[in-house]
Amino acid sequence: MLDLSGLLDIALGRAAPDRVAARVPARYAPRAAAPPVVVWNVCRHCILRCPHCYASATSTPSPYDLTTEEARALIDRLAAAGVRVLILSGGEPLLRHDIVELAAHASAAGLRPVVSTSGVPLDARMAGALSAAGVGYVGVSLDGFAPFNDAYRGMPGAFDRASAGLAHARAAGMSTGVRLTVTQRNAGEVAPLVEWADARGVDRFYLSHLLYAGRGFRMAGDDLRPEESRALLERLFEAAERLIHRGAAIRLVTGGNDSDGPCLIAWIEARHGRRAARRVEAVLRRRGGNSAGERILAIDHRGRVHPDQFFTACELGDVRRQPLAEILAHPLREALARRETLLQGRCGVCAYKSLCRGSHRERALARFKALWAPDPACVMTDSEIGAPLEEPDLESTEAGTREAVV
Q: Which CB sits closer to ligand SF4, 152 or 352?
A: 352
The Cα 290–Cα 277 span in angstroms is: 20
Q: Which part of the chain contacts ligand SF4 (CB under 6 A), choosing from 86-94, 258-266, 280-288, 329-337?
A: 258-266
Q: Position 225: which residue type?
A: R
Regarding 167 and contact with ligand SF4 (CB under 6 A), the answer is no
d(CA 57, CA 59): 7
| Shortest CB 143 distance to ligand SF4, Å | 25
The answer to whether residue 204 forms part of the interface with ligand SF4 (CB under 6 A) is: no
Nearest-angstrom CA–CA distance, 299 and 315: 10
What are the phi and psi torsion angles at 58 (to 5°)? -110, 170
Q: Which is nearer to ligand SF4, 203 or 375 (CB)?
A: 375
Smaller CB distance to ligand SF4: residue 3 or 375? 375
| Interface size with ligand SF4, residues (CB under 6 A) | 16
Which of 310, 352, 368, 372 forms a contact with ligand SF4 (CB under 6 A)? 352
Does residue 346 interact with ligand SF4 by CB under 6 A?
A: yes
Considering only 111, 356, 365, 366, the residue that binds ligand SF4 (CB under 6 A) is 356
Q: Decide: is 152 part of the binding site for ligand SF4 (CB under 6 A).
A: no
- Nearest distance, CB of residue 373 and ligand SF4, angstroms: 10
364 binding ligand SF4? (CB under 6 A): no
In the 8-state DSSP scheme, what is residue 341?
G
- CA 251/CA 202 separation, integer angstroms: 9
Q: What is the DSSP letter of 257?
A: -
Buried b (16+ CB within 10 A) or exposed e, 67-95: eeeebbebbeebbebebbbbbbbbbbbbb
Q: Write the binding mask 366 to 395 for ligand SF4: x where contact by CB under 6 A, - elsewhere.
A: --------xx--x-x----x----------
- Which of residues 353, 363, 368, 373 is near ligand SF4 by CB under 6 A? 353
Amino acid letter at 296? I
Cβ neighbors of 367 (< 8 A, separation 6 or more) are 212, 220, 373, 376
Peptide bond into 93 cis (omega under 30): no
Which residues share a beta bridge with 252? 205
What DSSP string describes 380-394?
S-HHHHT---PPP-H
- What is the contact mask toward ligand SF4 in residues 260 to 299, using x (rule: CB under 6 A)? --x-------------------------------------
Interface with ligand SF4 by CB under 6 A: which range of 10-18, 192-200, 279-287, 347-355? 347-355
Under the binding rule (CB under 6 A), the answer on residue 8 touching ligand SF4 is no
- Name, in order, each residue with C-beta under 8 angstroms of 172's C-beta and a sequence gap of 6 or more: 124, 127, 128, 130, 131
CA distance 197 to 50: 21
Any contact of residue 226 with ligand SF4 (CB under 6 A)?
A: no
Binding site for ligand SF4 (CB under 6 A): 258-259, 262, 346-347, 350, 352-353, 356, 358-359, 374-375, 378, 380, 385
